[in-house]
Structure 1
Amino acid sequence: MKKILVPCDFSDSAIQAFKFALQIAKQSKGEIILLHVVEPPFLRGTMLVPPLYFEENFLNDMTVSAEKNFEELKSKWANEGIKIHTLVEHGPTTKTINRIAEENKADLIVMGTQGATGFKEFLVGSNTEKVVRFSSLPVLAIRKSLELSRIKNIVFPTTLDPKQNKLLSHIRELQNFFSAKLHLLLVNTPHNMKRTSDEKVMMEEYAKEFDLQNYTINTRNDFYESDSIINFTNEIQADMIAMGTHSRKGLAHLFSGSMTEDVVNRMDCPIWTYSIKD
């Protein structure tokens, strides 16, 4: 987590993401790229305001405003010694975020969300959901910043898919960074039920296959995966949830989109996602 991209619209949720990213950068001795994306307006031309003239002035004004806000943000929250780059880019938000991440070889995107409403939009086509879907990088969604030292228990819901080498590599990195315990969670539903006698053996083999350390094995039976994940996370008072996603279906590689929406809408803790490509 040496190079962290933080898309920023200067909302409270974006500031929370920036504050959390600062802590990550401090611990990793990394750097932050603060990015503000301005989408050009699409207006029909009129005799009074030609669209090119309007757009040029609009973009210039928005750029000046963003640069001023960047300075205030850094002055209020940034720590000495942390390298922070600021960028103002014009274009489609999602594509621009992913392009800047690739061009700058970022290895983590930290984005803010407003909670229930923000995460509802997150999962029905908003910019954050699209970033999660198409980004080749891990994405960490933050509702409220918290101290890194508080993250000691990470819930990792899994389907025990053996073809998850990249995902598990990132999971181990995430766990090591926070020096946290990993809690593997297998949820049985009426449509996806495994025999109780097989569950523990399967999970132990999975953990051994991917060389997991400092972990617990947990299974739950429920009608809905989301309820089980939420209840388990609250039960052990976990500090983060780490989930694999699918590039074609957004947050649906391990779970249905509506289920994941339910989880993140009802949880305050950070949600880490990684998109598994086909």
Structure 2
Amino acid sequence: MKHILVPIDFSNDSINALEHAIMIANYTDCGIRLIHVKRKNADYDASFNLHDFDEVLRSGVIDNFERTIQLYKKELKGEFDYRIREGRIYTEICHQAKYGDAEMIIMGTHGVSGFEERWVGSNAFRIVSNATVPVLTIRYSFPKREINKIILPIDISKESRQKVPLVAGLALLFGAELHVIDIRQDNKVVTRKTLNEYIDQVMIYLKRRKVKCVRESLKGNNLSNLVIEYALLCDADLIAVMLETNERTLPFWVEPYAQQMVNHSPIPVLSIRPTGD
């Protein structure tokens, strides 16, 4: 069954992500597979490590799954099912997506800031950076609505344009308008020339497929802030970014572009892994 994987802990964030996932699944003829990752007993207080605690915990999760599916099954055209895994949250979710043949992961996120993002890290971005499928992260504060405007930033990296076919396909499904933006940190001739060539190629591709699109150009020191501010200004519904191959090798104090987008954007972010990575 073609399906979208939705991590769920039954919080408001994860239920909001589920509602978005149902809308997208109905457009893409997908089912929904829910996944809950429970921690091992060792992660709980010792007083709770009873011999039957694991079964009690599992039963409670199953009850919540059944209630959730009962509540939302009439809204979904496809099929609902669920999986329960045990272990590290991001590892189990990524494994389920890969070996369960998910088309996409859609998940809620609180976002992070300050000390927390530097030292605790974000499960959301760990999933983004390790998943083999596209990951859509959604803040609880963002309401479910149709996707009418998609922001497609293109930078000078070789991988940046790889997201175009997937995003163009989504735009056609939703009848959405694509805002193709070249983003740069300087005005060097070589930078502008390269980006112009990239954007020309993208625009030709989109127009041949009859995707509604507009072209913009932004320059500034912080590329993620540029994109987020532009997306807010035009009331966008989705931002698509590419996880660049060198982002996972940066020092821990350097927050990569894609991670900034996932951690700080109030607008849903679709993160896509480069092919061959």
- Bucket of the pairwise TM-score, normalised by the shorter protein: 0.7 to 0.9
Whether the 8 Å CA contact 2:242–2:258 is kept in 1: the answer is no
Partner of 1:216: 214
CA deviations over 1:118-146 (Å, ceiling 9, x no partner): 9x659963322121111110000011364
Residues 45-64 of structure 1 correspond to what in structure 2 (within 5 A)? 54=49, 57-64=52-59
CA distance in 2: counterparts of 1:15 and 1:141, whole angstroms: 13
Note the C-alpha offset of 1:27: 2.5
Determine if the alignment matches structure 1 residue 78 to structure 2 residue 73: yes
Partner of 2:138: 142
**Pair 1:8–1:260, CA change in 2 (3 A):** same
**Pair 1:33–1:95, CA change in 2 (3 A):** same
Whether the 8 Å CA contact 1:123–1:129 is kept in 2: the answer is no
Note the C-alpha offset of 1:85: 0.3
Instruction: Give the secondary structure class of the aligned counterpart of 2:9.
Output: coil
Residues 239-258 of structure 1 correspond to what in structure 2 (within 5 A)? 239-246=237-244, 249-250=247-248, 257-258=255-256
CA deviations over 1:62-85 (Å, ceiling 9, x no partner): 211101111222233332544110
Partner of 2:272: 274
Partner of 1:154: 150
Code of the aligned partner of 1:245: L
Instruction: Give the secondary structure class of the aligned counterpart of 2:239.
Output: strand
TM-score scaled by length of structure 1: 0.80
Whether the 8 Å CA contact 1:4–1:108 is kept in 2: the answer is yes
Note the C-alpha offset of 1:180: 1.1
The two structures, once aligned, show a CA RMSD in angstroms of 3.4
**Pair 1:128–1:58, CA change in 2 (3 A):** farther
Whether the 8 Å CA contact 2:41–2:54 is kept in 1: the answer is no
CA deviations over 1:40-61 (Å, ceiling 9, x no partner): 1337xx9xx8xxx947533212
Residues 14-93 of structure 1 correspond to what in structure 2 (within 5 A)? 14-42=14-42, 54=49, 57-79=52-74, 81-93=77-89
Whether the 8 Å CA contact 2:156–2:195 is kept in 1: the answer is no
Structure 1 portions without partners, runs of 5+: none
Code of the aligned partner of 1:77: Y
Partner of 1:232: 230
TM-score scaled by length of structure 2: 0.81
Determine if the alignment matches structure 1 residue 189 to structure 2 residue 161: no
Whether the 8 Å CA contact 1:142–1:271 is kept in 2: the answer is yes
- Size of the aligned set, in residue pairs, is 267
**Pair 1:202–1:93, CA change in 2 (3 A):** closer
Instruction: Give the secondary structure class of the aligned counterpart of 2:227.
Output: helix
After TM superposition, the structure 1 stretch with the greater mean CA deviation from structure 2, 22-31 or 104-113, is 22-31
Whether the 8 Å CA contact 1:175–1:182 is kept in 2: the answer is yes
CA distance in 2: counterparts of 1:134 and 1:197, whole angstroms: 33
